[in-house]
Amino acid sequence: MKPLSFGQPVGGLVQAAYTVENIDHAMMHYVKALNIGPWFVSGPFVPAKGMYRGQPTDMSLTLAVAFTGHMMIELIEQHDTKPSVYQETIKVKGHGFHHWAVCSKDFDADVARYEAAGYPVVFSDLSPRGVRIVYVDTRRDLPGMLEVIETTEALEGIYHSYFAAAQNWDGKDPIRRWSLKQGAST
């Protein structure tokens, strides 16, 4: 299968995600220490169709994404302590690595494959652009969860724009705020 426009293979890892206590501070640490940027920030927002372990969730989140090479880094700040896929991990090990993500062009089949392998869906949502996402709990075998992202042409275009911004970044304007309705996130 043809790679995604930002260089990663469909079904391969495209993202490493971390929970953080303060997203603004975390972004600046990544900028200063690792020269990762620019960051595209969405939030705070409540997942419109978020389901955590089969129950609706109204947690409040801010997300930030940036590329380093062909890999997307995501930072996640949950603004409350409501039960969530993030709080579940934070309570066990504190902030830090949370999940990887893969882009899927056959979403239902890929989710079914992970479930058949014994990795239950613990979170699902539908973005404002109609993109489905799920987190499957792979912690039995891996050090984090796995997010499966239904990859549409529009979403791939958004991710490519973030990738291109990082390739040509001169260090200026390191934090760029976007609303979810503008397409800054899945």
Arithmetic mean of pLDDT, 16-20? 99
pLDDT value at residue 185: 43
pLDDT mean across residues, the chain: 92
**CB-CB contact of 84 with 6 (8 Å):** no
Q: Is the pLDDT of residue 16 over 90?
A: yes
Arithmetic mean of pLDDT, 159-177? 95
Q: What CATH number has the domain bearing residue 43?
A: 3.10.180.10
Q: Count Cα neighbours of 100 within 13 Å in the Cβ-side half-sphere.
A: 12
Tokens coding 86: 């993030």
Let me know if residue 176 belongs to a domain.
no
Q: Is the pLDDT of residue 120 over 60?
A: yes
pLDDT value at residue 5: 79
Arithmetic mean of pLDDT, 33-43? 96
pLDDT value at residue 11: 77
pLDDT value at residue 3: 77
Give the model's confidence band at 182: pLDDT under 50 very low, under 70 low, under 90 confident, else very high: very low
Q: Is the pLDDT of residue 132 over 90?
A: yes
Range of 100's domain?
A: 16-170
Let me know if residue 67 belongs to a domain.
yes
Let me know if residue 30 belongs to a domain.
yes
Give the model's confidence band at 179: pLDDT under 50 very low, under 70 low, under 90 confident, else very high: low
| Number of domains comprising the chain | 1
Q: Is the pLDDT of residue 184 over 70?
A: no
Let me know if residue 103 belongs to a domain.
yes
Nearest-CA neighbor of 85 among 111, 110, 120? 120
Let me know if residue 88 belongs to a domain.
yes
What pLDDT, in 10s, does the model give residues 44-96?
999 989 999 999 999 999 999 999 999 999 999 999 999 999 999 999 999 99
Let me know if residue 6 belongs to a domain.
no
Q: Is the pLDDT of residue 138 over 60?
A: yes
Let me know if residue 8 belongs to a domain.
no
Let me know if residue 2 belongs to a domain.
no
Secondary structure in 3-state letters for the chain: CCCCCCCCCCCCEEEEEEECCCHHHHHHHHHHHHCCCCEEEEEEECCCCCEECCEECCCCEEEEEEEECCEEEEEEEECCCCCCHHHHHHHHHCCEEEEEEEEECCHHHHHHHHHHCCCCEEEEEECCCCCEEEEECCCCCCCCEEEEEECCHHHHHHHHHHHHHHHCCCCCCCEEEECHHHCCCC
